[in-house]
């Protein structure tokens, strides 16, 4: 059964089939929600018929108001791309991790927002790779997109970005939020977005946060949904257009615990969406148990239920302890581009 779950990716079906599958996934999610009481937010890209996708981007974070921005985005079921500044990530890694945990894509916006076209090639290289490292160590996600500060670029910068596995993305629509635009002006600018296009906005601006509900209402009325930016084309695509996994699935059975632990834990995967999946773990042989579970980077556990979790320093290894809610616990894992890996149960011990 696990081979079928982690088997080869299906080719991308035509749009009509995608919609049918999306509706089926939604129905499954509704059943799971009723069964577990777990609040799983359906994104508008899955709830509404999408005639196309646009890329909402927020630059210059993380900032002191990143959490406020993430709250607005989540409340409006928006997934967006965050072009982060490396030194901001280094200074506030938990905010960068919060972006990923909220379902956002994280991308490279240089180390300190310099005018990069006046740099030497080696300066460009160290600037972008230092930023990639800060983002990867904070979030576990290696950026695949790069936006040069001020949109200023040249052929040297583009080739440096390419050599680091970064696709350069500028923008099609400038919200002008950096230039003091009012909420209604930002909404009006966003209303020019067409299928596949990308809009420039910023973390840390109140008017931008206030504009998001109206931007979403306008997009929804035109059948446009927030999507991810494709690293191969730089265009906005469906959020489930995740790239093929970059790390192989774990070898061996992912659900067989080492012997002698005093209890047995068995994992199943009752819900799999385009960007995340649920794992349900049932423990036999103990009512007071401790189960250690590891996920494969860049996957991240975003939500848990029916247990008390703690984490190792990497954030990829979770120790779950019974909390009186029975012998089945669960968690949601964000795929972050790796759709095939599934968690490994490392041990089940009593007490």
Considering the complex, state which of residue 161 and residue 286 has its C-beta at the smaller distance from Zn ion.
Answer: 161
Considering the complex, state which of residue 115 and residue 192 has its C-beta at the smaller distance from Zn ion.
Answer: 115
Closest CA to 272 of 175, 209, 343: 343
Considering the complex, state which of residue 107 and residue 291 has its C-beta at the smaller distance from Zn ion.
Answer: 107
Question: Long-range CB contacts (< 8 A, 24+ apart) of 256-261?
Answer: 256/345, 257/345, 257/346, 257/347, 257/348, 258/346, 258/347, 261/347, 261/348, 261/349, 261/350
Q: Concatenate the DSSP letters of all residues of 291-337 into one string.
A: EEEE--TT-EEEEEESSEEEE-TTSSEEEEE--SS-SEEEEEEE-TT
Stretch of 30-38, 54-62, 184-192, 343-351 lying at the interface with Zn ion (CB under 5 A): 54-62
Considering the complex, state which of residue 200 and residue 224 has its C-beta at the smaller distance from Zn ion.
Answer: 200
Q: Are 334 and 300 in contact (CB under 8 A)?
A: yes
Query: In the set 50, 53, 55, 59, which binds Zn ion (CB under 5 A)?
Result: 59
Tell me the closest approach of the beta carbon of residue 218 to Zn ion, in angstroms: 24
Residues 323-342 that bind Zn ion (CB under 5 A): none
60 binds Zn ion (CB under 5 A): yes
Considering the complex, state which of residue 22 and residue 109 has its C-beta at the smaller distance from Zn ion.
Answer: 109
**Residue 102 backbone dihedrals phi, psi, to 5 degrees:** -85, 5
Considering the complex, state which of residue 152 and residue 312 has its C-beta at the smaller distance from Zn ion.
Answer: 152
Binding-site size, Zn ion (CB under 5 A) = 3
Token readout for 316 is: 């990829």
Burial class (CB in 10 A: 0-12, 13-18, 19+), 115: exposed
Tell me the closest approach of the beta carbon of residue 208 to Zn ion, in angstroms: 13
Residue nearest to Zn ion (CB): 59
Taking CB under 5 A as the rule, which mask of x and - marks residues 88-127 in contact with Zn ion? Answer: ----------------------------------------
- CA dihedral 256→258→263→268, nearest 10 degrees, is -20
Closest CA to 124 of 77, 86, 174: 86
Considering the complex, state which of residue 60 and residue 240 has its C-beta at the smaller distance from Zn ion.
Answer: 60
Helix (H, G, I), strand (E, B) or coil at 168: strand
Token readout for 301 is: 């556990």
Tell me the closest approach of the beta carbon of residue 139 to Zn ion, in angstroms: 19
Half-sphere exposure of 164 (CA within 13 A, CB side): 27
Tell me the closest approach of the beta carbon of residue 109 to Zn ion, in angstroms: 6
Token readout for 146 is: 């790069």
Residues 144-163 that bind Zn ion (CB under 5 A): 149
Stretch of 119-127, 142-150, 243-251, 277-285 lying at the interface with Zn ion (CB under 5 A): 142-150
| Residue 20 to residue 12: CA distance in whole angstroms | 13
Tell me the closest approach of the beta carbon of residue 172 to Zn ion, in angstroms: 16
Tell me the closest approach of the beta carbon of residue 178 to Zn ion, in angstroms: 8
Taking CB under 5 A as the rule, which mask of x and - marks residues 245-274 in contact with Zn ion? Answer: ------------------------------
Stretch of 15-23, 55-63, 209-217, 232-240 lying at the interface with Zn ion (CB under 5 A): 55-63
Considering the complex, state which of residue 149 and residue 257 has its C-beta at the smaller distance from Zn ion.
Answer: 149
Tell me the closest approach of the beta carbon of residue 6 to Zn ion, in angstroms: 39
> What is the contact surface with Zn ion in residues (CB under 5 A)?
59-60, 149
């Amino acid at each position: 059964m696990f081979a079928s779950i982690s088997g080869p990716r299906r080719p991308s079906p035509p749009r009509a089939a995608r919609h049918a599958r999306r509706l089926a996934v939604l129905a499954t999610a509704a059943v799971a929600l009723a069964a577990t009481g777990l609040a799983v937010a359906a994104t508008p890209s899955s709830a509404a018929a999408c005639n196309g996708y646009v890329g909402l981007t927020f630059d210059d974070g993380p900032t002191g108001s990143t959490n406020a921005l993430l709250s607005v985005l989540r409340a409006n079921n928006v997934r967006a791309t965050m072009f982060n500044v490396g030194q901001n990530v280094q200074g506030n890694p938990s905010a960068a991790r919060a972006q990923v945990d909220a379902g956002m894509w994280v991308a490279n916006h240089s180390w300190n927002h310099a005018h990069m076209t006046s740099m030497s090639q080696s300066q460009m290289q160290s600037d972008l790779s230092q930023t990639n490292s800060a983002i990867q160590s904070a979030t576990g996600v290696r950026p695949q997109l790069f936006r040069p500060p001020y949109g200023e670029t040249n052929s040297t910068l583009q080739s440096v970005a390419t050599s680091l596995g970064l696709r350069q993305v500028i923008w099609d629509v400038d919200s002008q939020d950096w230039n003091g635009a009012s909420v209604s002006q930002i909404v009006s600018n966003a209303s020019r977005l067409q299928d596949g296009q990308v809009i420039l906005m910023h973390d840390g601006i109140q008017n931008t946060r206030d504009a998001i509900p109206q931007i979403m209402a306008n997009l929804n009325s035109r059948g446009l949904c927030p999507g991810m930016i494709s690293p191969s084309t730089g265009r906005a695509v469906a959020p489930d257009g995740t790239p093929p996994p970059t790390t192989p699935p774990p070898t061996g059975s992912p659900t067989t615990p080492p012997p002698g632990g005093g209890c047995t834990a068995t994992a199943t995967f009752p819900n799999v969406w385009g960007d995340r999946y649920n794992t349900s773990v049932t423990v036999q042989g103990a009512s007071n148990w401790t189960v250690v579970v590891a996920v494969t980077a860049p996957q991240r556990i975003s939500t848990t239920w029916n247990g008390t979790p703690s984490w190792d320093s990497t954030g990829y290894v979770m120790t779950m302890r019974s909390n009186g809610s029975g012998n089945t616990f669960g968690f949601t894992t964000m795929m972050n581009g790796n759709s095939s890996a599934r968690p490994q149960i490392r041990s089940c011990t009593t007490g």
